[in-house]
Structure 1
């Protein structure tokens, strides 16, 4: 009897299994573009799913079922399942449905569920012939079903001679018109696909720049770059300074690490690294060093050491290291985070908006119930996608991220203003209030110049809201603009080129990325002329301060986050040592430059000034380094290898005939306990550059 019952249930389960089938496929629009967020339902049931970013879906249904596909702004489609297990469909725009659209950020919602500010866009039922054109102008720069809250400004009409050149989109990046001839000369064997879009469709996808149509090109390698579109602040390498004339060296700390991951991107793509993209201090500070946690009342420890310079027998190398106090995630105060996300047309490439959404999900996964997240987006204008939402409502936050799509021009200034307004409205006293801007930096509507952005952020930082700036993509990456925003916004600047980098930034360094423990941190080093003849600071060229700025509390400087480490290197020439880098200076008539013998054992003194995150007055501490020299620790060796690599990439005047092989040897010796493999990756990058150099010279 038991066997009979068992066989019955086995047969019944097999029968049920045979009556179900897994259906998958891709949903695209009429132009062939994949559509994320499309609802896919088994008709007559509650069984359903949604398409992912690539328009892909998968669902298990009964044999002979009907699948219903629905998306706002498109006609509903029903497909009867027959024998095929792959069902690809294309949805057609529904102009009748688009005659009245409620616009909420870049997500789609029913009016009955709306909260906050909304805008209603009405069509004209008596002029159906013009309904599509009306909607294209009303939803300028947006994809169907995707729009923004608030009024959408009209593009300014050009007063100059009419130009009807189509916009080129190569691997997702809009190409500036002055480079059209370069794109037109692309060899056919390097092109994977080429598609021409008419003006109305092009404008709806890529904004006013595509008003004369566009040509979308996908290359075989998928990483085509016109490097002239990228912008970096010019850097002039620090020179040796005579201690008798300039005994003080003053600079702001820099915890930014964008330069290293950006350089890695160039090397991995087989491209030459632009000299001004190389910021040696950001390369050094990318790596973790074993500095002790602070034990006194100050939120960081100070560490110094001096050793022989590996690339010059006539000089010594000084390492100054700060270690910020590290807090566990649960110890951090409640956060009021506003994600400010660029969804303009230039963000459509795979290494931009899609990577951005995946990266932000790593951050969302670490949020707590007491944390709040808002999302603001901007393209042709700015809008609120997500009102403040608790960190334990992760599905809602993830859904808002999943709904984001790229299209249109870039009103970055308007986005920043709206994000700060929202952050200030929901300000948490004694909490962590921060705007996190994610973009390629290509602002082209409204405030857009570096100076405009600097003035805007300088004004906004007085609100007590901090700013983190994350760069994405290539081809039109504007590093100088993003660095300016981060510097003036009391924040930090990162560049995300891979999900591994996102994991490092939002996973391992979560607290340092989001929680500031000290602001306006300045260093001033005074060298003792009895011991040091001359010195040069390696890197920090864009962070130098006037000596008098050190005690001026109105002068902005860098911020230190939870667990952050800051390292600075000096190369020094000792008194009595002859060096080719020493330059004679004239005798001074009125200034006494004789040494004070009372401090004959001291090599230098380091002074630090910082403010508490909500403070207005600086706190000062002092650290003295005596003239004892030592063997380089492994950390010191590795930091030195990174500095030498940066100097090689910059064609420095001070590398003294060293080679990439010397860097590799120094890095291998200093590799130490490389838990996460970051140092091994650095060695691989140096070897790649060395191999390319050998190949090019062969």
Structure 2
């Protein structure tokens, strides 16, 4: 009996101890983070604070060594989970990128791709570096890095809503090759010149958005946009967590206090039914459609749709259907740790929109104030480029970046094929590395049943390539064609424009971060040197900040070597 009594007493004590531990843990978990105020006039370019580590269910996974250095495992499965040193379980997802190879001009004379105005990759990798880590290779999309920056391209003249420029010089990371720079500049408009806006904010208020660099930063960011709205603009706010709901019906941009009040009342909690929220947002936009206006859903989220029928296929089909009805999509990414880059990029591409990652209030100002026209107003849709290389001048070529924007040659003339959009004031830059015919060796053989000989014509003897561009105006379904031959006239690298050298420095930075097979001996220090002499006017200081980021990356590289 004494033994039984002692066992019972021990059981009671054990239960009381466990209960106390649980209560203490629960109380700590509810302790709110200290408030953080951030004045707009004291903006600083810095990444949001790292998210606290989460408890890992799998101890075996938790004890794996973290990936360090610039070399990344590119054979990992697509959308692989990324875990950085010093963090808990990390479920960030990035699609696997297989770099574009060199293609022989005689066998593959046509290079066809869709433009891309997304910039998320640059601000996301900046977040990694400023938090003391180098980004995973698949988070580095070089075209988005290059397109993050402003370029001094000429304003468009004539009938087309954009200008087109090319520049040719020696390739900085391989002196035997050439680098071709292609630039597009859309007409710049201020908000007063744009048609009325029908904007539907679709905001993720699920539990995963409670961190300071998510919903709190989201609110501050959208307040910047709200301050720019006019009386003729309308804003609706829809949210999604465990369920979707309409928080604010369409409200005039003149009623800023009403809009801000509805925004500030939002709190994070619950799981994420993303598909239901997207359906509600599009339905709200459709009901209040402005026939001669700009109709757009602005999705702000970490992309972690984890409840409900939210497969990429279902969501993209819905967004594609609404795109055809004239309702476009802008995606703003927030946060870290569970960030779903791969999903958000697909949604924006499908929705005739753009995708930006907001890592600071300064980045929000760039996207939602300084580039507001491009963020909201599309001037040209389904913009495609096709370059035909002259094999007497070019042995082989490689498009740098745009791996997920490649099109088949026949897609260029197919107006039913979707492509990227160009917003007001946006610029697009594409870089090609070229192997001159004098340097390359052709692997083509004389074939019995088809012609493989190069056409020697004095008419085209000085042409490097023929550049073609197709685009549609926003309310049209038939494309317009621009054709422009490009002469084989190369400048010495030190005689090129600041834009040429700076874009090359950014691309070189991306090659090193990806540990590209095509970077040669190029280093971060080489990018630093090239960019330092190509800052140009740098009105907003973005190029100066790039140089600072390069310095930080070099320190991390040295630390990890």
TM range (shorter): 0.7 to 0.9
Find the aligned partners of 1:681 and 1:466 in 2 and give their Cα distance.
Answer: 31
Find the aligned partners of 2:123 and 2:31 in 1 and give their Cα distance.
Answer: 31
Q: SS state of the match for residue 283, structure 1?
A: helix
Matched, 1:674 2:534: no
1:316 aligned to 175, 178, 200, which one? Answer: 178
Higher relative contact order (CA 8 A, sep 6+): 2
Q: SS state of the match for residue 508, structure 2?
A: helix
Contact 2:166 2:181 in 1 (8 A): yes
CA shift digits 1:188-247 (9 cap, x unpaired): xxxxxxxxxxxxxxxxxxxxxxxxxxxxxxxxxxx9744740101111001111011000
**What is the aligned partner in structure 2 of residue 343 from structure 1?**
205
Find the aligned partners of 1:475 and 1:561 in 2 and give their Cα distance.
Answer: 31
2:486 aligned to 613, 625, 640, which one? Answer: 625
Cα drift, residue 553 of structure 1 = 1.0
CA shift digits 1:131-168 (9 cap, x unpaired): xxxxxxxxxxxxxxxxxxxxxxxxxxxxxxxxxxxxxx
Cα drift, residue 561 of structure 1 = 0.2
**What is the aligned partner in structure 2 of residue 590 from structure 1?**
449
Pair 173,430 (structure 1): closer, same or farther in 2 beyond 3 Å: farther
Q: SS state of the match for residue 229, structure 1?
A: coil
Matched, 1:409 2:409: no
Matched, 1:660 2:524: yes
More moved, 439-448 vs 376-385: 439-448
Aligned pairs (5 A) from 1:89-104: none
Could you tell me which runs of 5 or more consecutive residues in structure 1 were left unpaired when the two chains were aligned.
1-28, 36-52, 57-169, 186-222
Find the aligned partners of 1:362 and 1:334 in 2 and give their Cα distance.
Answer: 18
**What is the aligned partner in structure 2 of residue 266 from structure 1?**
128
CA shift digits 1:466-514 (9 cap, x unpaired): 0000000000000010000000011000000000100100111010011
Aligned pairs (5 A) from 1:157-306: 175=54, 178-179=57-58, 225-226=87-88, 228-306=90-168
CA shift digits 1:340-382 (9 cap, x unpaired): 0000000000000000000000000000000000000000110
Contact 2:219 2:264 in 1 (8 A): yes
Matched, 1:602 2:463: yes
Pair 183,396 (structure 1): closer, same or farther in 2 beyond 3 Å: farther
Find the aligned partners of 2:143 and 2:208 in 1 and give their Cα distance.
Answer: 29
Find the aligned partners of 1:177 and 1:30 in 2 and give their Cα distance.
Answer: 18
Find the aligned partners of 2:29 and 2:392 in 1 and give their Cα distance.
Answer: 75
Find the aligned partners of 1:591 and 1:31 in 2 and give their Cα distance.
Answer: 72
**What is the aligned partner in structure 2 of residue 536 from structure 1?**
398
Question: Given the two structures, how large is their TM-score scaled by the length of structure 2?
Answer: 0.85
Contact 1:171 1:224 in 2 (8 A): no
Find the aligned partners of 1:503 and 1:540 in 2 and give their Cα distance.
Answer: 26
Cα drift, residue 174 of structure 1 = 9.3
1:371 aligned to 214, 224, 233, which one? Answer: 233
Bigger strand fraction: 1
CA shift digits 1:226-269 (9 cap, x unpaired): 47401011110011110110000000000000000000000000
Contact 2:143 2:401 in 1 (8 A): yes
Please, what is the CA RMSD of the aligned residues? 2.3
1:637 aligned to 498, 501, 504, which one? Answer: 501
Q: SS state of the match for residue 160, structure 2?
A: coil
Cα drift, residue 595 of structure 1 = 2.0
2:360 aligned to 469, 484, 498, which one? Answer: 498
CA shift digits 1:298-357 (9 cap, x unpaired): 111100010111111111100000000111210100000000000000000000000000
Aligned pairs (5 A) from 1:64-103: none
Pair 178,543 (structure 1): closer, same or farther in 2 beyond 3 Å: farther
Cα drift, residue 178 of structure 1 = 3.9
**What is the aligned partner in structure 2 of residue 519 from structure 1?**
381
Find the aligned partners of 2:118 and 2:96 in 1 and give their Cα distance.
Answer: 17
**What is the aligned partner in structure 1 of residue 290 from structure 2?**
428
Could you tell me which runs of 5 or more consecutive residues in structure 2 were left unpaired when the two chains were aligned.
1-26, 38-48, 65-84
Q: SS state of the match for residue 551, structure 1?
A: coil
Find the aligned partners of 2:270 and 2:59 in 1 and give their Cα distance.
Answer: 19
More moved, 627-636 vs 409-418: 627-636
Find the aligned partners of 2:257 and 2:181 in 1 and give their Cα distance.
Answer: 46
Cα drift, residue 181 of structure 1 = 7.2
Contact 1:34 1:55 in 2 (8 A): no
Find the aligned partners of 1:476 and 1:176 in 2 and give their Cα distance.
Answer: 13
Cα drift, residue 31 of structure 1 = 8.7
Q: SS state of the match for residue 315, structure 1?
A: strand
Pair 176,434 (structure 1): closer, same or farther in 2 beyond 3 Å: farther
Pair 328,426 (structure 1): closer, same or farther in 2 beyond 3 Å: same
**What is the aligned partner in structure 1 of residue 549 from structure 2?**
685
Cα drift, residue 586 of structure 1 = 3.7
Count of residue pairs the alignment pairs up: 499
Find the aligned partners of 1:253 and 1:448 in 2 and give their Cα distance.
Answer: 27
CA shift digits 1:601-632 (9 cap, x unpaired): 11111111111112111111112211111232
Find the aligned partners of 1:689 and 1:540 in 2 and give their Cα distance.
Answer: 23
Pair 298,694 (structure 1): closer, same or farther in 2 beyond 3 Å: same
Find the aligned partners of 1:266 and 1:563 in 2 and give their Cα distance.
Answer: 28
Q: SS state of the match for residue 497, structure 1?
A: coil
2:312 aligned to 440, 443, 450, which one? Answer: 450
Matched, 1:360 2:222: yes
Find the aligned partners of 1:419 and 1:232 in 2 and give their Cα distance.
Answer: 26
**What is the aligned partner in structure 2 of residue 563 from structure 1?**
425
More moved, 656-665 vs 484-493: 656-665
Contact 1:172 1:348 in 2 (8 A): no
Q: SS state of the match for residue 302, structure 1?
A: strand
Contact 1:302 1:322 in 2 (8 A): yes
